[in-house]
Every structure is written in C-alpha cells, then in structure tokens.
Amino acid sequence: MLLARQLEKLLSKSRVSIEPATLAQHATDKWFASHPPEVVVFAESTAEVSKLLKFAYRRQIPVTPRGAGYGYVGGCVPLRGGIALSLARMNRIKEIHFADSVAVVEPGVITATLQDAVRKKRLFYPPDPASRKDCSLGGNIATNAGGPRCLKYGVTRQYVLGLEVVLANGDILRTGGRTHKNKTGFDLIGMFVGSEGLLGVVTEATLRLLPLPPARATLSASFRTFRQAAKAVQEIFAAGFLPSALEIADSFTLAAAGEYLGTHLAPKGSAHLLVDLDGQPESVTSEVHALARLLEKLKPIGARTALGEADCEELWNLRRAFSQSLKATGLTKLNEDIVVPRSKLTDLAAFAEKLRKKYGYPIACFGHAGDGNIHVNIMAANYHADPAVYKKVGLALDELFQQVLAWGGVVTGEHGIGIAKQRWWPDATTKVSRAVHASLKHALDPHGILNPGKFVK
C-alpha cells in the first residue's frame, strides 16, 4: 500500500502497521460502530505526531487520534478511513512534583496508573471514570471524563493546567502551564478538553494534583423504592453534607448484580445508595456517624458503614460490577449517560418505567445521583440482528432524550457525542452554538482532516 510505504519512510517501519488484526482493533471502540483505517500509526513523540500531521495536512488525508479505545460513543472510529493515530505508546509519566502539586504526563498513560503513582507520594488525582484501569488520560481529556468523585472534586477539566497540542497543520501549541491560576488570554485549555479529537492532538498534559485525603468512609443503604432513595439524596445535601461520591441504583441493576455476583452480595430492596466521604480521620468518623443517623431516620431496609480504604472498596465492588452484571444478562446494553437536574431523579426513574411499559425493554438506571448524571441503560435482545428492534429502541431513545432536554438536562455528561449521539446533536444545541463550533473547527482544521465524519463538520 502506497500510504503505508510513505509513512514508513516518513517515520519508521516500527511505527506503521497494515496488519489485518491491527486495523480491526483500531476500527472501533466500546460502542458498536466499526470502520477500518487504511493504516495505523503508533506515534512515540510529539515530533512524530507533528511530522505525521504536516504530511496528512498537505495531502488532506483523514487522521483519527485515539487512546486506549475505551470510549462508549464511537468517538475514535475512523469513519473516513485514512490514518488511525494511536497515542498508546506515548505512555510516560514525565514528572510528579509534590511541592508544585502537578503531574506531567503523555496521553497514553492509563488513568489508574497515574492515580497509583501519585498516591505513593501522598498526592491525589480525583477524576475516576469507571474504566480507569483501562482508559487513558488522553481519552479522558478528549471527552472531559468524570466519574463518581466529580460530585465533590469536579471533572477532568478542573485538573488540566497545561496542554501541548499538535494542530491539524502540524504546528505545536503550548497553552497553560504548571501554576494553579492562569488568566493569560482565552481559555484555550477549556476549548481542547472535551473536543473529542476534532481540534488537535494532545501530546502532553500538566495535571493538577491535590493532597491525598488521609481517611475515607463509605455508607451503603438500601430502600424499598427509588423515590425513597432519591429523597435521601436531597436530605443528605439539605443537612449540609458534601460527599466525595453519591451513587444510586435501581431494582433491575441490583437484580442483575445479584445474578452475576451471587444474591448474598447484592443488597435487598428496589434502590441502593452508596455514599463516600473523605478528609481528616476525626472529621470523616464524625461525618459518617452523623450521616448514618440521618439515613436511619429515612427507614432504609439495610445499611452498612465502612471505615478505611480496604473496607470501603469492599462496598464499592458492587458498584464497580454494575456494567459487567448488565452485560452478563445476554442483552445488548445501550448505555446513555444523560444528566438531569438533581430534583428530577425520581421523575427520570418514573419516565424510564413508562418507556419500559411502552416499548417492552428492561431499563436499568444507575450512576451519579449527586450531580444528576444517571446512566440509563436500555436492555434489548437482538438489537443488531433485528431491524425492527433497532428501530424500536431508536424511538425509545428519541423519547428519552426529548424528555431530558425538556427538563433542562443534557444528552451526555461524560461520554461525549461521537457517533452514537450525532442524531440528537441539533436538538441538544442551538443554531448559534453549532455555528460557533463549526467556526472553531474550520479555523483550526480548515481541511477537516481530524476525526472527520463526527458531529462538527
């Protein structure tokens, strides 16, 4: 293949692959769409990324950057073929500086790898997507990933102090730095975080770190109804608590977890809350006991309290198993990361039940109750094999997103638009907003070579 030979000459043979298995691996992510690239390039430095993009820009060859491939919306699927640019080999933690409270990393570093490394130095990187042991920091930056702890600590954007980005034409942009405050010009970092590989390729990030909280506690509570659990969420905030995480799960999710893990490990009831606290030992101990007393007044049918990292993680094993439990049902799991105003949690559960009755598909709701980011999972058999099922599920999703938007919510909180949510992009934005997106895209990528075919043309 001519393109592969040209790239081997430009970079080296070790950086380029057209092996069928490699092309297939880089044709998709954790969603359902798939389209093979013509060639895969494994960059190992910013200079190589710059050289590649200069080459592609002159020839107007599509380039789709990707990290670990753990996205859930087809964001790194190379829809126009061309070059799949893997950043997986750029996986060095360049620096962890305790006094400055920063880490300097390449985009291929796995999120949990950084978290473990900074923890050893008594530092803390809070963003914790569910796939943190598999996803890369570059992918987290591309989607502005969140996770349970974003209730107290915020999402990825709050931890990016500086970026090195290679633009579509190969120019290298450095913006921000290692200071924790910076108002030098426009917020270019904010523009690239969450841009899903459409505006540039991140090759280095300087990340803000926090002091590691020395103590942690977790409280698990089960309720007879989802409404009671949602009421408990409001009571927790009304009493002045700010947990580091506050998770909720419905009856279908709990039943699937019981089937997968064993019924003795799954809590009773139709709804479940998991509340995490962290801080100094004295304050955490005091808070968790006060929180337990508060929840007891709401009459849960079961409650457990854990103190210390190991015991807390034991309670969290249930939460971390939800996705795999749902997949183990044998149904196709359509995971929608919608966000609603927190006051609408009960309404969302009721609306999901209405959709279940209307369309006949089980719906599992679980996720981040503290910020309204609930993963609504439509569970469908024969989704890929039966066109009628595919169409019917699409109608259910149309109704879900229309209602979420009517409540003032959004169609994605942490996964991004990618391919999966393209059809709802116009409804979720205004004409002016879409025009601004298009203007930014054209200014930075006039030939449209970066991740083409996605929601901004």
pLDDT in the model for residue 239: 97
Q: Distance between alpha carbon 19 and the CA centroid of its chain, in Å?
A: 30
Dihedrals φ, ψ of 71, to 5°? -75, 160
The vertex-130 CA angle with 213 and 238, nearest 5°, equals: 55
Q: What is the mean pLDDT of residues 186-190?
A: 97
Query: Terminal CA-to-CA distance of the chain, rounded, Å?
Result: 28
pLDDT in the model for residue 253: 95
Angle at which helix 2-10 crosses helix 46-59, to 10 degrees, equals: 140
Spatial strand order of the sheet with 271-279 comes to 302-307, 215-223, 271-279, 245-250, 363-368, 373-380, 332-339
Query: Cα separation of 261 and 151, whole Å?
Result: 27
Give the list of residues 6+ apart from residue 52 with CB closer than 8 angstroms, or none: 7, 10, 11, 41, 43, 63, 83, 85, 170
Contact predicate 107/202, CB 8 Å: yes
Q: Distance between alpha carbon 312 and the CA centroid of its chain, in Å?
A: 23
Give the list of residues 6+ apart from residue 325 with CB closer than 8 angstroms, or none: 253, 256, 257, 259, 260, 261
Average per-residue pLDDT in the chain?
A: 96
Q: Assign 3-state DSSP to the chain and report helix, strand, coil percentages, each to 5.
A: 40, 25, 35
pLDDT in the model for residue 268: 81
Angle at which helix 345-359 crosses helix 226-238, to 10 degrees, equals: 160
Where does the pLDDT of residue 252 fall: very low under 50, low under 70, confident under 90, or very high at 90 and above? very high
pLDDT in the model for residue 257: 92
pLDDT in the model for residue 154: 96
pLDDT tens digits, residue range 202-243?
Answer: 999 999 999 999 999 999 999 999 999 999 999 999 999 999
The CB density around residue 273, as the number of other CB atoms within 10 Å, is: 26
CA distances 285 to 41, 225, 237, 247, 417, Å, are 51, 28, 18, 20, 41
pLDDT tens digits, residue range 7-54?
Answer: 999 999 999 999 999 999 999 999 999 999 999 999 999 999 999 999
pTM of structure:
0.95
Query: Cα separation of 325 and 32, whole Å?
Result: 19
**Sign of the torsion angle spanned by Cα atoms 448, 41, 49, 412:** positive
Residue 154 CB burial class (10 angstroms; 0-12, 13-18, ≥19): middle
Partnered with residue 65 across adjacent β-strands are: 85
Where does the pLDDT of residue 79 fall: very low under 50, low under 70, confident under 90, or very high at 90 and above? very high
